[in-house]
């Protein structure tokens, strides 16, 4: 029997968040970013103001500053996509929060902590 990989479910990384929608922000993921799964750490592209995978190598410029965590999977392969990001005041399940590059996980966690997003 062939195995299957399950995509992270929408918001499954959230342990707790602030009341109402205080923890959330509406963002735009740029065309060409590809499929980004729920729970991925994001950075803000300086030139466009859109959000992409957090990368410590800062490519494209700006994404080396952590801005939050993508709430639901987005497919921005061929067009900009509206999305929701957990931007502040939340507790998250550490094993369900990811970075595009595995080596960026520690610096990503530090960046999240400065936003009041704590990995548990």
pLDDT at position 90 over 80: yes
User: Is 38 inside a domain boundary?
Assistant: yes
- The more confident residue out of 119 and 3 is 119
For residue 84, the model assigns a pLDDT of 98
User: Is 5 inside a domain boundary?
Assistant: no
What does pLDDT average to over the chain?
93
User: Is 8 inside a domain boundary?
Assistant: no
Measure the CA–CA gap between 57 and 118, rounded to whole angstroms. Answer: 23
**CATH number, domain with residue 113:** 2.40.300.10
Instruction: Please state the pTM of the whole predicted model.
Output: 0.92
User: Is 2 inside a domain boundary?
Assistant: no
Give tens-digit pLDDT for 5-48: 667 889 899 999 999 889 999 999 999 999 999 999 999 999 99
User: Is 103 inside a domain boundary?
Assistant: yes
User: Is 108 inside a domain boundary?
Assistant: yes
User: Is 11 inside a domain boundary?
Assistant: no
Per the structure, the count of domains in the chain is 1
Task: Find the domain containing 33 and state its range.
Answer: 16-119
User: Is 9 inside a domain boundary?
Assistant: no
């Amino acid at each position: 029997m062939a195995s299957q990989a399950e995509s992270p479910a929408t918001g499954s990384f959230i342990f707790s968040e602030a009341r109402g929608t205080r923890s959330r922000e509406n963002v735009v993921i740029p065309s060409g970013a590809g499929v980004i799964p729920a729970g991925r750490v994001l950075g803000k592209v300086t030139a466009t103001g859109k959000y992409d995978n957090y990368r410590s190598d800062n490519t494209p410029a700006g994404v080396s500053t952590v801005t939050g965590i993508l709430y639901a999977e987005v497919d921005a392969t061929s067009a900009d996509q509206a999305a929701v990001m957990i931007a502040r005041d939340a507790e998250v399940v550490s094993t369900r929060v990811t970075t595009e590059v595995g080596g960026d996980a520690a610096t990503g966690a530090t960046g999240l902590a400065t936003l009041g997003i704590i990995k548990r």
